[in-house]
Amino acid sequence: MRRYLFSRLRQMVPVVLGVVTVVFLLIHLIPGDPVEIMLGESALAAQKEELRRELRLDRPLAVQYGDFLLGMAKGDLGTSFRSREPVLREILRRVPATLLLSAASMTVALCIAFPLGIVSAMRQHTFLDHLCGFLAMLGLSMPNFWLGPLLILIFSIGLGLFPVSGYGTAGHLVLPAVTMGTGMAAILMRMLRSQLLEEIRQDYVRAASARGLSRRAAVVRHALANSLIPVLTVMGLQVGALLSGSIITETIFSWPGVGRLTIQAIDARDYPLVQGCILFIALCTVAVNLLTDLLYSRLDPRIRYE
Amino acid sequence: MADVKDRLASALLLAAIAAASPTGCSQRMPADSGELVIAFPGAPVSIDPRLSTDAYGTQILQMTHASLIRMDAAGNPLPDLAEGFEARSPTEVVFRLRDGVRFHDGRELTSADVRDTFAWILNPRNRSPHRSTYETIREIETPDSRTVVFRLSEPFAPFLAGMVRGIVPAGTRAAGYSPPIGAGPYRVDDYEQDTAIRLSRFEGYHGGAARIEQVVVKFLPDSNVRFLELKKGSVNLVLNGVEPDLIPAVLENGNLVMEEAPGSNVSYLGFNLRDPFLSDARVRRAIALAIDREAIARTLWKGHADLADSLLAPGFWAHDDKIPPLRYDPAAARRLLEAAGYRDPDGDGPKPRFRLTYKTSQNELRRRIAAVIQEELRQAGIAVEIQSLEWGTFFSDIRKGNFQLYSLTWVGIADPDIYHYAFHSGQTPPEGANRGGYRNPEVDRLVTEGRRETSREKRKKIYGKVQQILSRDLPVFPLWINRNILVRDRRLTGFVITPDEDYASVKEMTFRKGKEAGK
Amino acid sequence: MSERTVKQTIARRVARHRGAVAGFAVVVLLLLAAVLAPLLAPFDPGAQALDSGLSGPSRSHWLGQDRLGRDLLSRLIHGARVSVAVGLGTVSLSLAIGLLVGSAAGFFAGKVDHLFMRLADILLAFPGILLAIAITSVLGPSLRNVLIALSALGWVGYARLIRGQILKIREMEFVQSARAVGTPPARLLRVHILPNAISPVIVEATFGIARAIVAEAGLSFLGLGVAPPTPSWGAMISEGRHFLFVAPHLTTVPGLAIMITVMAFNFLGDGLRDAMDVREGAH
């Protein structure tokens, strides 16, 4: 087990390197000049040249790439063009907000997906099942930039329960988390339902029922555990989407997360910051996927029974 | 840059006179306990006066930092930290600081702080984007704690305009997002990047403490959220942040009122004159005639926009009032296109005379306008493909001259010298902003002469001619100027809408008492 | 059972599934609307009437008009083309790549699997927005490039899912015994493994259609979707969102269209899944 973990950790290195390299190439190759964006309309050509030299943007791409890798190896992600802060500090400042929102959204998603998924599977083809299916569709087909303002209108303006936007208290967290969580809940719920249905039909659940275990107990005790693998896969996939896909929700609710920082960095062609943000997202995603893989072997009874 | 010498001297003399007039409240007014909550449609990049270039950063600094002088709406200097100044020669300017000015932390503001602020900007290691503005400063001398002497390497007209930079205490390091302290009417209590900034009244402000104790600026990029915050009353002042279509709905609740005043930012349609179709002035005029600007201003802007006929706003001193108006005339547009040799192959049918691409940023409003222009040009027989590009890509393409048609807005034009930058044949990319590649020896001559001329009357004539020529040649087609729209709580008074969206008047604002509010 | 009878059985089972029939009917209607859009739409979807912008439903404009006064019903019908193309196109493209790579990785395991997993990790860790910006700024904004942008990362999910399923199934008894009797690998994969692995993939794919349609709306929100004036449901919601509180029909109408489409594909997928399920048929 420990050896497996070690080898997996070692495998993370080329993955992260791969992401960083692709990002480096993409951000440098798309049009747009950070110097022009920084200095604005009226800057003189000579001044732009000077800044380009200072930022070392005049050197060959390969040299810049080498510098970047070297810095990264030393734990130095460089300095943001835009804010002049160390990129690391800039990202760390955003990490709490990002993790908070991601965790809250995931919690919302799970809190919706599990009860609805289980009810839906156990009462297949009933009104309840259809209702849950309808809710899932609703969650899935509403874009966040539409759902967000709607939630604000109902819960903030109408009922006065939460602040409209901002960051700081627990109240601020609810609406963005629900906005982000619903779409994910729909995906998880459908996946859970279909997996549960498959497991319920398996012999061991029938056998458990035959042994006198209640159907619900059988489902919860056995079928659920076996259904978790594909659900977990999807969840792992969603975490990556959560981190980088939160741009729209963060924009609507003025949430100071990494997603918005990334898009602002891309807008400003702030190369070190873009690379730093994406490195952070990559590390998180890789870590979550590693965790998912490790959980596979824990959760799959077939592997355990061998 | 010898051509600006005389202009500098006369400007400084004028300024010295204007500086003699007193400002600031001499007697203390009773404080307002209410909280002013402003919403900005975006977040500032930097709120260090030595680094900030973005509009939102500038607007916050107008509340938190004091500068040697300020400019009024007409471009005349007003005293701020400097109680007066004089130009001893075109290359030597002396500022006298007010007595007893203090920073937010209680330290006294002295000439050393002023010197240090500018020295920091000029130090290449600090990479300030403002360095070019001050490059002519050769030396800053501080004979005593209240006197600052600037010696210039050469006379430089925009020098005075550059003195609106906020002053920070000597020795302040650039600390990214933690804003440096200043000597403005409000101090920064808390800055949550991308979310909000909280300000509180600085009791020791040299112009007399502000009336409202707490000011919060929320950064709300989503227009629906700004609308909802206003509705809820959790935001009570928004300048240019409510879409024209939403104004009636926002005013429904009765607590909010709307005010508007002329703006100064001119939107225009840019042509690439190197393009075989667009090099023909008749084609450009035909395009202009085919666009129904009145309809767009009436519908998309709900009347909150004035049609433009030049890059200068009609209220601006150098604006030429006798430019022949260009009215929507689709029949004339079609005739011009025929005359230029572009026949419509199938009349009203789907085949176009020719095809053009129109580049725009990804902004929803700009996309909407692009769709209207596209449809109107289709009716004239010109097929337009819209390319809506991510901002960095779009701006890079425009700056390189890589486009056929595009639309943008000129922001912050303070001097007609913009015509040199935007239309002189030597200012094609990458040097200047003549992105369409316009070449006209007459215009070249006039805009060069305009820089040399010191008399405002004569300059007005010169730039009048330039505007006339450009309205004939149409290297760009000026579209409209959006009006500045303020939505505020009806009890909040004292905010002055300036064409350039200045927030300095926040310190004069006050909450009227409930009883008076009815009227 | 011969292949033909299997197909007939599946068809018969789908026909018995009421939800699937309804879903199928909606999908057929949708495809018809997409194909016949120019005949069905009462107006030219690009024709503007600025002064009647944001009008609600009326006798001549059944669903009202958008900000530029364009007929919402006509745009909805024409938008079906784009949105169906985005949904089906993205999913087919992603699924094709995902099936190929995922089954190769799961089946051959070892080095192939290893390589795939690292590649998948890289792509999963990669922010889609940067890719979308890169694609639209290099290739230009168009329907084709929206498809490319959405599929470029979209296939990884399917591939991982298929791989996971195959890894699970290949250890099952019936596969092991088939292998023991010397079934060639290709046949093993095609006949024994894939059909049993496919059911969560179908569920995922029917959802993928929905996600692609909504993702296109997200790209439109960021200004990276199909270029105006092309009507897509995503772009319509995105354009209408500024008027959420003064002209809610602008967002509700395309929103409902997306929802009905999503439901239809989903019911159809459910029906297909149930029908293809060999085990259910056995009892």
Burial track C166-176 (b if 16+ CB lie within 10 A, e otherwise): bbbbbeeeebe
Find chain A residues with C-beta within 8 A of C244's C-beta. Answer: 146, 149-150
Q: At what angle do helices C72-108 and C233-240 cross, to 10 degrees?
A: 120
Q: What is the 3-state secondary structure (H, E, C) of B410-449?
A: ECCCCCCCHHHHHHCHHHCCCCCCCCCCCCCHHHHHHHHH
Q: Which CATH class is domain A90-299?
A: mainly alpha
Out of A19, A140, A274, the one facing C125 most closely (by C-beta) is A19
| Record: contact A29-C138, CB cut-off 8 A | yes
What's the CA angle centered on C266, arms C141 and C230, to 5 degrees?
25
pLDDT at residue B31 greater than cutoff 60:
no
Q: Which CATH number goes with the domain that contains B364?
A: 3.10.105.10
Nearest CA in chain A to B54: A40
Question: ipTM of the predicted structure?
Answer: 0.84
Contacts of residue C222 in chain B, CB cutoff 8 Å?
362, 390
Determine, for residues B386 and C229 on separate chains, whether the beta-carbon distance falls below 8 Å.
yes
Taking the C-alpha atoms of residue B418 and residue B463, their distance in angstroms, rounded to an integer, is: 10
C51 and B249 in contact by Cβ < 8 A? no
Query: Chain B residues with CB inside 8 Å of A260's CB?
Result: 194
pLDDT at res. A202 = 74
Q: How far B403 CA lies from chain C's nearest CA (Å)?
A: 13
Question: How does B66-79 read in b/e, with b if 16+ C-beta sit within 10 Å?
Answer: bbbbbbeeeeebbb
| B49 and B128 belong to one structural domain | no
Residue from the list B45, B174, B192 with its beta carbon closest to the beta carbon of A82? B45
pLDDT-wise least confident of B160-169, B406-415, B499-508: B406-415
Domain extent for B258: 31-65+184-262+483-519
Q: Can you give the pLDDT at residue A306?
A: 31
Contact C230, C143 (CB under 8 A): yes
**Domain membership flag for residue B93:** yes
Closest partner CB to C141 (pick from B368, B378, B388): B388
What is residue B390's predicted lDDT score, i.e. its pLDDT? 82
Could you tell me the two tokens for A38?
């920084």
Domain total in chain B: 3
Contacts of A262 in chain C (CB under 8 A): 127, 129-130
Q: How far is B248 from chain C (nearest CA, A)?
A: 9
C100 exposure class (CB count in 10 Å sphere: 0-12, 13-18, 19+):
middle
Report the candidate in A227, C202, A251 with the shortest Cα–Cα distance to residue B222. Answer: A251
Looking at the fold, whether B279 and B345 belong to one and the same domain comes out as yes
- Chains contacting C (3+ CB pairs below 8 angstroms): A, B
Q: How far is C46 from chain B (nearest CA, A)?
A: 7
8 Å CB contact of C157 and A15: no
| pLDDT category of residue B238 using cuts at 50, 70 and 90 | very high
Q: How far does the CA of residue B220 sit from the closest CA of chain A (Å)?
A: 6
Q: Chain C contact for B383, CB < 8 A?
A: no
Query: What is the residue-averaged pLDDT of chain A?
Result: 83
For the whole model, what pTM was predicted?
0.86
Share above pLDDT 70 across residues of chain B, in percent, rounded to a whole number? 90
Peptide linkage before C229 cis (omega within 30 of 0): yes
CB-based contact B245 C227, cutoff 8 Å: no
What CATH number should be reported for the domain holding residue B232?
3.40.190.10
Set of chain C residues whose Cβ sits within 8 Å of the Cβ of B392? 137
Please name every residue paired with B166 in a beta bridge, in sequence order, or none if there are none. Answer: B67
Asked whether the beta carbons of residue A47 and residue B131 sit closer than 8 angstroms, the reply is yes
In chain C, how long is the greatest CA-to-CA distance?
76
- C-alpha C42: how far from chain center: 28
Res. A210: pLDDT tops 80: no
**Residue B179 forms part of a structural domain:** no
Using CA atoms, how far apart are residues B472 and B457, in angstroms rounded to an integer?
23
> Is residue B178 a part of any domain in this protein?
no
| Mutant choice from C17, C116, C124 vs A, greatest count of A C-beta within 10 A | C124
Same domain, B477 and B489: no
Mark yes or no for CB contact B195/A254 under 8 Å. Answer: yes
* CATH code of B112's domain: 3.90.76.10
Query: Are B107 and B223 in the same domain?
Result: no
Structure token pair of residue A53: 């030299």
Does residue B351 share a domain with residue B489?
no
For the cut 60, the answer to whether the pLDDT of residue B28 exceeds it is no
Contact B245 C54 (CB under 8 A): yes
* B317, B419: one domain: yes
Q: Which of C43, C242, C243 to mutate to test the interface with B (most CBs of B within 10 A)?
A: C242
Structure confidence by residue, pLDDT tens digits, A114-123: 999 988 888 8
Over residues A231-287, the pLDDT tens digits come to: 877 777 777 677 766 888 898 898 999 988 988 898 888 999 999 998 888 888 888
Q: Along the 283 residues of chain C, how does pLDDT read in single tens digits?
A: 455 666 677 677 767 777 788 888 998 999 999 899 889 999 999 889 999 888 889 998 999 999 999 999 999 999 998 888 999 999 999 999 998 888 888 878 788 888 887 888 788 777 777 888 888 778 877 888 889 988 988 888 888 888 888 887 877 788 788 878 888 877 877 777 777 777 778 877 887 887 888 888 888 877 788 888 889 888 898 888 889 888 888 988 888 888 888 778 877 877 777 776 644 433 3
Q: Cα–Cα distance between C93 and C156 in angstroms, integer?
A: 11
In sequence order, what are the residues at sequence separation of 6 or more whose Cβ sits closer than 8 angstroms to the Cβ of residue B341? none
Q: CB distance A15–C241 less than 8 Å?
A: no
Residue B375 in domain: yes
Q: Are residues B318 and B370 in the same domain?
A: yes
B195, B50: one domain = yes
Say if B40 falls within a structural domain. Answer: yes
Substitution target in C50, C131, C143, C145 with the highest count of B β-carbons within 10 Å is C50
Higher pLDDT, B115 or C111: B115
Predicted pLDDT at A267: 85
Residue contact A281–C125, C-beta within 8 A = yes
User: Structural domain boundaries of chain A?
Assistant: 2-73, 90-299
Same structural domain, B220 and B341: no
Give A27's contacts in chain C (Cβ within 8 Å).
130
pLDDT of B172 > 50? The answer is yes
| pLDDT tens digits along A63-86 | 999 998 998 888 888 888 888 888
A19 vs C126, C129, C266: nearest CB? C126
B445: Cβ contacts below 8 Å, ≥ 6 apart = none
Q: What is the pLDDT, as a whole number, of residue A7?
A: 79
Residue of A nearest to C171 (CA): A302
Instruction: Show the domains of chain C with their CATH numbers.
Output: 17-37+65-282 (1.10.3720.10)
**Do the Cβ atoms of A7 and C118 come closer than 8 Å?**
no
